[in-house]
Amino acid sequence: MQGKTVFDVIFKKAIVVNHDGQGARDIGVIAGRIAALGDLSRAHAGEEIDCAGLYILPGMIDSQVHFREPGLEHKEDLQSGSLAAVLGGVTSVFEMPNTKPVTDTPERLADKMRRARHNMHCDFAFWVGATRANAPLAAELERLPGAAGMKVFMGSSTGDLLLDDDEGVSAVLRAARRRVAFHSEDEARLTVRKNRQIAGDAGSHPVWRDAKAALLSTERLARLARAAGARIHILHVSTAEEAEFLRDYKDIATIEVTPHHLSLSAADYARLGSLIQMNPPIRAARHREALWQALQQGLVDVLGSDHAPHTLREKQQPYPASPSGMPGVQTLAPIMLDYVNKGLLSLERLADLTAHGPNRIFGISRKGRIALGYDADFTIIDLKRQGVISNAGSGSKAGWTPYDGKKVQGWPVGTIIRGRRVMWEGELVSAHGGEAVEFIEALPRRP
């Protein structure tokens, strides 16, 4: 059979890492989808790509990025953000709604879709911002083409979206049919504690936005979700207390953590200052250790970068004038691969957190697995390669990273989207091919 089949592309001699472990396999691709797995040494193809010594993972899906378009393009735009993504081995992204204007209507979602298609370098979906006004329409909004689902900001962050009262949150949960994503910080506590900010000291950021603000919000959210019979996804969980609490809510709640909450701690404010100012904040080391334990014990469902760039000039303003957020989509893979080499994480678990997990909890159609019939989206890595993360290598318009100068082992060398080499050995080789991600719960009806 394999001798007669002609593939468009064969990826040869790689170690394939997927849902059934890792092993030496070839992958044959036809029309952008996986058509064969195994020994294809006697098959023919229009293109053969030698991957000897490399690992092929399911294409990494970053389900939380802020690409700032429209309205804040001086920080980032869809094209530059997606360049950073593919340079980092990421094949698909879900972009956040806190742009200017916010993404909260069908027209504004459609505008982002027009801006993205064949302009972005990776595939994409867009979160729709939940408001009091659009809550009754959640079931319609979340099924629109390109919609990743509804996103709720329970605590104020960058932008104008905030929905912090029980009635408003419950309205979204009752109306939505898909999983709803949340930024979970208690706005009332943030308001009361704002006087804890110390001018010029970014280290006071986690004192103001303390662990209790996160826990109070997450406890309230879990209670509201149970009452509504709704599914929730809690973004960038940052505290030991939340991880402990959420053990009893895995029937309704899924959990995201970020590389920066796994790799940095409050001790790093002395060196990096407002460069690592995030919402929710980088916290004391005990929280980082608890998140690692939660990840290793299977409590965590996905890794998201929360890529949230600002210009270096903006970030260098004295705290608290400095905005919260930092780039992260390009460094997600190198940071986490370094932990693989240190023995804290297996490649199989990394694939679960960045591909299988998003596929499972968001209901992504044909992405997130290396299996027959799925899109040929791959992140190809050299686990032995040593590299240095640098500002100079940034694809983001922001042009900086808090990891500047960090040495890591393990590096993405290829980004493959629907069988096309988009990035190879650090170079963009196939541009502007981005298409919308589809979701099982919102598939268009076809004859």
CATH number at residue 298: 3.20.20.140
| pLDDT tens per residue across span 39-72 | 999 999 999 999 999 999 999 999 999 999 999 9
* In-domain check, residue 436: no
| pLDDT tens per residue across span 298-333 | 999 999 999 999 999 999 999 999 999 999 999 999
pLDDT grade, residue 2 (50/70/90)? very low
* In-domain check, residue 28: yes
Of 307, 332, 362, which residue sits at a domain end?
Answer: 362
CB atoms near residue 42 (< 10 Å): 10
One domain, residues 314 and 421: no
- DSSP state string for 319-380: TTSSPS-B--TTTHHHHHHHHHHTTSS-HHHHHIIIIIHHHHHHTBSS-SS-STTSB--EEE
- Average pLDDT score over the chain: 96
One domain, residues 142 and 211: yes
As a whole number of angstroms, the distance between CA 353 and CA 361 comes to 11
Nearest partner of 422 among 93, 146, 69, 169, judged by Cα: 93
As a whole number of angstroms, the distance between CA 76 and CA 88 comes to 16
Task: Give the per-residue pLDDT at 380.
Answer: 98
Of 339, 362, 385, which residue sits at a domain end?
Answer: 362
pLDDT grade, residue 201 (50/70/90)? very high
| pLDDT tens per residue across span 356-371 | 999 999 999 999 999 9
One domain, residues 300 and 343: yes
Nearest partner of 345 among 296, 290, 304, judged by Cα: 296
H-only helix segments in 69-165: 78-87, 106-116, 138-141
- DSSP state string for 215-279: HHHHHHHHHHHHHHT--EEE-S---HHHHHHHGGGTTTEEEEE-HHHHH--GGGHHHHGGGG--S
One domain, residues 42 and 68: no
Residue 181 has pLDDT above 90, yes or no: yes
Task: Give the per-residue pLDDT at 444.
Answer: 81
One domain, residues 65 and 41: no
Task: Give the per-residue pLDDT at 4.
Answer: 73
One domain, residues 199 and 341: yes
Across residues 274-281, what is the average pLDDT? 98
One domain, residues 81 and 146: yes
Residue whose entry in the numeric block shows the structure tokens 């002609």: 6
Task: Give the per-residue pLDDT at 161.
Answer: 75
CATH number at residue 48: 2.30.40.10
Task: Give the per-residue pLDDT at 175.
Answer: 97
Residue 178 has pLDDT above 70, yes or no: yes
Across residues 245-260, what is the average pLDDT? 98
* In-domain check, residue 412: yes
One domain, residues 118 and 265: yes
One domain, residues 128 and 166: yes
One domain, residues 295 and 391: no
One domain, residues 272 and 397: no
* In-domain check, residue 346: yes
Q: Tell me 281's DSSP state.
A: P
Number of domain units in the chain? 2
Task: Give the per-residue pLDDT at 447.
Answer: 67
Least confident of 148-157, 267-276, 337-346: 148-157
| pLDDT tens per residue across span 103-133 | 999 999 999 999 999 999 999 999 999 999 9
Catalytic residues: 306
Nearest partner of 330 among 314, 309, 347, judged by Cα: 309
CB atoms near residue 446 (< 10 Å): 4
Task: Give the per-residue pLDDT at 155.
Answer: 72
Task: Look up the pTM and report it.
Answer: 0.97
* In-domain check, residue 242: yes
* In-domain check, residue 445: no
One domain, residues 406 and 277: no
Task: Give the per-residue pLDDT at 1.
Answer: 42
Residue 400 has pLDDT above 70, yes or no: yes
Task: Give the per-residue pLDDT at 56.
Answer: 98
As a whole number of angstroms, the distance between CA 380 and CA 378 comes to 6
SS3 assignment, position 172: helix
Q: Tell me 114's DSSP state.
A: H
* In-domain check, residue 439: no
At 330, list the tokens: 């390009």
* In-domain check, residue 437: no
Give the range of the structural domain holding residue 221, as residue numbers without chain letter. Answer: 60-362
Residue 225 has pLDDT above 70, yes or no: yes
Q: Are 357 and 45 in contact (CB under 8 A)?
A: no
Task: Give the per-residue pLDDT at 162.
Answer: 85
